[in-house]
Structure 1
Amino acid sequence: MIVSKTFSTSPAQLFEQLAQQNWCSFLQSAADSHENNHFDILVADPIATISYSEQTADVTVGADHYHSQQPPFELLETLRKQLFPDSQTGTSRFPFEGGALGLWSYDLGRSLEVLPEQLSRDLNTPDMAVGFYDWALIYDHHSKQTTLIQWHQVGEEALALERLEQRALWLNIQSTQEVEAFKLTSKWQSNMSQASYTEKFKQVQEYLLSGDCYQINLAQRFEASYQGNEAEAYQRLISANQAPFSAFMRLPTSCILSVSPERFISLKQGEIETKPIKGTRPRSSDKQIDQQLASELLNAEKDQAENLMIVDLLRNDIGRVASPGTVEVPKLFAIESFPAVHHLVSTIRANLAPQYSAEQLLAACFPGGSITGAPKIRAMQIIEELEESRRSAYCGAIGYISSNGDMDTNITIRTLVCEDQKIYSWAGGGVVTDSKVEAEYQETFDKLSRILPVLE
């Protein structure tokens, strides 16, 4: 139930004008993205919001504000269906037709599993921050067309058309605010020295060799001071990375900048897809060396073994809510190349069982196995023990759940959090028994080679 009109201005152009508003979000795909990921989505001015942290949600619906202790994924589904009644599943012209769009931080996993509380909460970004939007500006990279859409209930098309015209006028008269240019005011500093990383790597190996875990993701966090416009920093990152699952989110307490290469979970007309990444090699400017690095990754038994562990983990997670017998792996160990690195990527598909929703699917798989380890819960316990800080937005997800129940989300790797004039960036990798500490440590820098220097 959508009314729409072609819009002359692209979301990228309007983004600058809206980026200073709280709850403005911009989801972008790369220009050459895969067939089922070729849209940019710009939203702002939500009709409702949820900010969930520490087992309590702050909920705003229009002028009403209240607190809720309802489990976050249940609350999300309840509010989406309340705000967007009568929505029908089925073929849609647009990926997002009004609905929920936001952030699910890694630490939201604490609402699903009992985990130790060894690390202090040192960032204020919510564990879940979701806006509900009844409009969106959508750009199709294939048709090169921008469309303004407005959701409406059955029988309210005339009112929706009026609101669509008001929204178009509102977008056209937005004026760009003068915002200070972005710049770092300090050097990047890691929360782990190489010696500290090496010691933690040894502890991971002890867990692996004892049979406690098969794979553990170990990450370090980088921090710098900054001033100026976070949207400018995001645009620099986009230009340098051309990532297929990028996102900008302006929240009341923070700003999230994501240039993620990894899809987490998509759901379209009942078909589930996830594309876990496990296996990395740096890029080279020398074409022959670059090809050798890609070929080496494609044939690396260690990286294939790591990837297969995560594929099995995700098959199990998805299998909890999939129709029996529908889980399949159409692509195993495919090479996908990005500006900074080559990745080993697999694809898993299934059909969602009819009794389950997008929110229940997301909860069943959250957080993503590719950034925790296997088995997942034990790996998360060890991460809590060994890392120096909570992960916050890193290794969570950003995306949307449309009014019709379709969903697409990324894994928030290559993702930065801006809070109180500090900017944070993380990088990690899966460690297995035959991992080498020097290579794993270097891999964290390879993954940030088109992020940290770009902002300096």
Structure 2
Amino acid sequence: MRTSIYKFIEEPLQFKQQLIAWGQEFREITFLDSNSFTNEYSSFDCVLAVDAFTSMKTDYHNAFEDLKQYQQTTKDWLFGYLSYDLKNGVEHLQSNNFDGLNFPDLYFFQPKKLFLLRGNQLEIQYLNMCDDEVENDFDEIINCQISSAENQNKIAIEQRISKQNYIEKVSKLLKHIHQGDLYEANFCMEFFAQNAVINPLEKFFRLNEISQAPFTVFFKNNKQFLISASPERYLKKDGENLISQPIKGTSKRFSDPVEDENSKNTLAQDPKERAENIMITDLVRNDLSRTAQKSSVEVKELCGIYSFLQVHQMISTITSKIDPQFSSVDTIRTTFPMGSMTGAPKYAAMKIIEELEETKRGLYSGAVGYFSPNGDFDFNVVIRSILYNQENEYVSFSVGSAITSLSIPENEYDECLLKAKAMHEVLL
């Protein structure tokens, strides 16, 4: 059983850093931070879950059925991730590309210790709560010294696909589009480093400082880490309501206010970027309709422009009401992976990009988040993220862009480099 203790936090920003610095000592940790980016769909400013009471991991075979059983059996908070390659269990697809990270396809854990921060109010939930343990932990947190000394080992970042090879592959995608095989595809490439020794928490602090994204994550499963500055929500369930917010459309930020405003306005009016976003919005509408009550799918906002520290983004919001015959996990299975990371039609896009990409995506372009005890959930899209296998000493980050009939391969390559900038800067 979980019971709650509440604390007033005078300095939430400082407390969040102390919270993660304290929590990262545990074997399992999920830290979620909205970076004060609140909207009508926000539930928490920050969440920390640590120390697995139970856990599950699996490959893609029957993964969603196993997750459904785990979620319905525990009826408790669960934190974890869904890798992109769960698509292989949803459709007749396979992933045979190189994988330097070797993360499980799916991993969730039931935390012993949970911290939920809203404004200045902290809610603490422990399994089998002992008041002394809670108070001792809280004292440790508020007295925690934030130390993130960096190992000075040099990291040599390599690019899996060369510029020339990238342009050739995008040209092949354009041929598929012109032949009518698909309308849009999200094509991705990997940057990586071998024999890499990094301080994951220090890298998280640096990435978060320069990004301050609304779906930021620090995830640890023993020696496997995710450091994510994601700006994108995949799917949220709130009662009978589902909310999805795909991102398609990116432009640079500038220090000069006039240049920056021009970049924002250009993005809002760009016919290619709008076409990308509208196609994926239509795909998400279709995905949500598979578990929706009749006539309940609605586009709340189309092609809205939102500004983050690194880039401007075009975001749409699509909602639906769930038909009661479907479970929480059913609504994930029928919409996964996120349309913004695949293309349209979804199956054709996933099949073709798998043939052209050279790295297994794994957790990249999957989702991280949580289930609450009543079956509600919230998951991001794993983009703008660094993945690290400490045991293998392998670091990876990937970036992609949407290829449509209007795409110019060289411009798409430049967009990928723009998206890679923050992760590259943090790792060097």
Q: Classify the TM-score, shorter chain.
A: over 0.9
Q: Does 1:149 align with 2:125?
A: yes
* Secondary structure, aligned partner of 2:181: coil
SS across alignment from 2:421:
coil
SS of 1:227's equivalent in the other structure is coil
Equivalent residue, structure 1, for 2:63: 72
Distance 1:113 1:402 in 2: 28
CA distance in 2, matches of 1:42, 1:428: 29
* 2:182 match: 213
Q: Which moved more, 1:445-454 or 1:199-208?
A: 445-454
The answer to whether 1:32 aligns with 2:37 is: yes
Q: Give 1:12 deviation, angstroms.
A: 2.8
**Counterpart-to-counterpart distance in 1, 2:202 and 2:344:** 38
Question: Structure 2 CA distance, aligned partners of 1:210 and 1:125?
Answer: 36
Does residue 231 of structure 2 align to residue 256 of structure 1? no
- Length, aligned pairs only: 417
Taking a change above 3 Å as real, the CA distance of residues 403 and 233 of structure 1, as seen in their structure-2 partners, is same
The partner residue of 1:360 within 330, 354, 369 is 330
The match for 2:105 is: 127
- What is the alpha-carbon distance in structure 2 between the residues aligned to residue 17 and residue 307 of structure 1? 40
Measured in 1, the distance between the counterparts of 2:356 and 2:152 equals 32
Mapping for residues 47-62 of structure 1, pairs under 5 Å: 47-53=53-59, 55=61
Please report how far the alpha carbon of residue 410 of structure 1 lies from its aligned counterpart in structure 2 after TM superposition.
Answer: 0.3
Q: Judging changes above 3 Å, is the alpha-carbon distance between structure 1 residues 183 and 407 closer, same or farther for their aligned structure 2 residues?
A: farther
Residues of 2 paired with 1:134 and 1:310: CA distance?
A: 38
Name 1:315's counterpart in structure 2.
Answer: 285
For residue 211 of structure 1, give the secondary structure of its aligned residue in structure 2.
coil
Structure 2 residue 206 is matched with structure 1 residue 236: yes
Paired letter, 1:144:
N
Residue 51 of structure 2: aligned partner: 45
- AA paired with 2:70? L
- Counterpart residue number, 1:90: none
TM-score by length of 1: 0.87
User: In the alignment, what sits opposite 2:399?
Assistant: 427
1:385 paired residue number: 355
- 1:312-355 per-position Cα deviation (integer Å, ceiling 9, x unaligned): 11111110001111000010010011111111110001111111
Q: Distance in 2 between matches of 1:188 and 1:204?
A: 27
For 1:163, the equivalent position in structure 2 comes to: 130
Aligned mates of 2:201, 2:333 — CA distance in 1? 30
User: What residue identity is the alignment partner of 2:56?
Assistant: I
Contact 1:241 1:259 in 2 (8 A): yes
Task: Specify the code of the residue in structure 1 equivalent to 2:403.
Answer: V
CA distance in 2, matches of 1:351, 1:398: 22
1:71-130 Cα deviation digits (max 9, x unpaired)? 22222121222222xxxxxxxxxxxxx411111111121121111444144321111111
Match of 1:300 among 259, 270, 287: 270
Instruction: Give the aligned residue type for 1:212.
Output: D
**Aligned equivalents of 2:37, 2:54: Cα separation in 1:** 33
8 Å CA contact 1:272, 1:349 repeated in 2: yes
Name the CA distance, whole Å, in 2 between partners of 1:256 and 1:231.
10
**1:105 match:** 83
Secondary structure of 2:51's aligned partner? coil
Which of 15, 20, 29 is 2:25 aligned to? 20
Query: How many angstroms apart in 2 are the aligned matches of 1:117 and 1:418?
Result: 20
5+ residue gaps, structure 1 = 56-70, 85-97, 152-159
Distance apart, 1:25 and its partner CA: 1.1
Which stretch of the first structure deviates more once superposed, 210-219 or 9-18? Answer: 9-18
| Alignment-derived partner of residue 395 in structure 1 | 365
Question: Where do 5+ consecutive residues of structure 2 fail to align?
Answer: 10-14
- How big is each residue's C-alpha offset from its partner over 1:210-251, in whole Å with a ceiling of 9 and x where there is no partner? 000100111110112432420111111111100000111111
- What value does the CA root-mean-square deviation take over the aligned residues? 2.0
Deviation (angstroms), 1:2 = 5.2
**Which whole-Å CA distance do the structure 1 matches of 2:151 and 2:294 have between them?**
51
Cα separation, 2, equivalents of 1:200 and 1:184: 34
Of 273-282 and 245-254, more deviation after overlay is shown by 245-254
Q: Percent identity?
A: 31
Partner of 2:300: 330
Q: Is the 8 A contact 2:101 2:394 kept in 1?
A: no
